[in-house]
Amino acid sequence: MMEELQFIYKRYSVRKFQEKPVKAEDLEAILTAAVHAPSGKNLQNWHFVVVSRREMIEQMAGAVQEKNKQLAEFIAEDERKAFTAMIPYHTVFKGAPVVILVYAGPYPSVADSLLKSGRLPQQEALEYAKPGPGIQNIAAAMENLVLAAAALGYGTCWMTGPTYAAEEISKLVGFSKEGYHLAAMTPLGVPAASPLQRTKRKPLAEVVTFVE
């Protein structure tokens, strides 16, 4: 691995944290790195909500657990057990001193224009929405965030599972911004375990195609 790229390989998915606070200057540096991500048309259609109040984090975890229970009633019986079994994974953030919620805002795309005009069949127009440029902006910001956190010695875990409780979580933290929805979240703190174990990655030959 090239030495210049070592900062990338410091990032792990961390689910257990020490009872140590996140330094204010480190938190600001991590968020600053996040907002320096590229975004289409430079719209920067993201918003970060930082939660460090212990009781609120616990309430968020409770909201996810309750929502999981509610939704399970609407899931096919053969898939319900697997869904409810995800609760421990969807609430691991409750052990962190800080949780960062990442909201995605509106992003006008060619698919929006095609749907608005009504000149193409809806199904065909929706094909142009597949790249999801608006959500790609959020992903870029999240990647900057988790890499910056790792470089400063903190652990994160990029989570989207708990977003099925987005409405409940947003009410708890008091966040409301027109057109924005909860896209992802991450716990943030000092990892409890060291060294961390990296999951196996697919070989390049399996996921890369060279066209020469």
Q: Which domains does the chain have, with CATH numbers?
A: 3-207 (3.40.109.10)
Cα(182)–Cα(165) distance, integer angstroms: 9
Strand 98-104 vs strand 181-189: parallel, antiparallel, or unpaired? antiparallel
Q: Binning pLDDT at 50, 70 and 90, where does residue 37 land?
A: very high
Mean local confidence (pLDDT), 10-24? 96
- Supply the mean pLDDT for the chain: 96
Q: Tell me what percent of the chain is helix, strand and coil, each rounded to the nearest 5.
A: 50, 15, 35
Q: Binning pLDDT at 50, 70 and 90, where does residue 177 land?
A: very high
Find where tokens 């390989």 sit: 9
> Tens of pLDDT along 78-122?
999 999 999 999 999 999 999 999 999 999 999 999 999 999 999
Cα(116)–Cα(112) distance, integer angstroms: 6
Measured over all CA atoms, what is the biggest interatomic distance in the chain, rounded to whole angstroms?
57
3-state DSSP assignment of residue 97: coil
Is the model's pLDDT at 188 over the cut of 80?
Answer: yes
- Dihedral angle computed from the Cα positions of residues 142, 144, 145 and 150, in that order, rounded to the nearest 10 degrees: 130
Q: What confidence score (pLDDT) does residue 193 get?
A: 80
Q: What confidence score (pLDDT) does residue 1 get?
A: 73
Omega before residue 195 within 30° of 0, cis: yes
Residue 23 is which amino acid?
A: K
> Tens of pLDDT along 117-138?
999 999 999 999 999 999 999 9
Q: CB-hemisphere CA count at 13 Å for 207?
A: 4
Q: What confidence score (pLDDT) does residue 17 get?
A: 97
Q: What confidence score (pLDDT) does residue 21 get?
A: 97
Cβ-Cβ contacts under 8 Å for 113 (sequence gap 6 or more):
none
Is the model's pLDDT at 197 over the cut of 80?
Answer: no
Q: How many helices (H) and strands (E) does the chain have?
A: 9, 4
Find where tokens 């697919």 sit: 202
Cα(36)–Cα(32) distance, integer angstroms: 6
Closest CA relative to residue 137, chosen from 188, 184, 201, 175: 184
Mean local confidence (pLDDT), 49-61? 98
CA distances from 166 to 52, 73, 107, 187, 188 (A): 18, 18, 19, 16, 19
Q: Binning pLDDT at 50, 70 and 90, where does residue 165 land?
A: very high
Tokens, residue 139: 């992903």
Mean local confidence (pLDDT), 37-55? 98
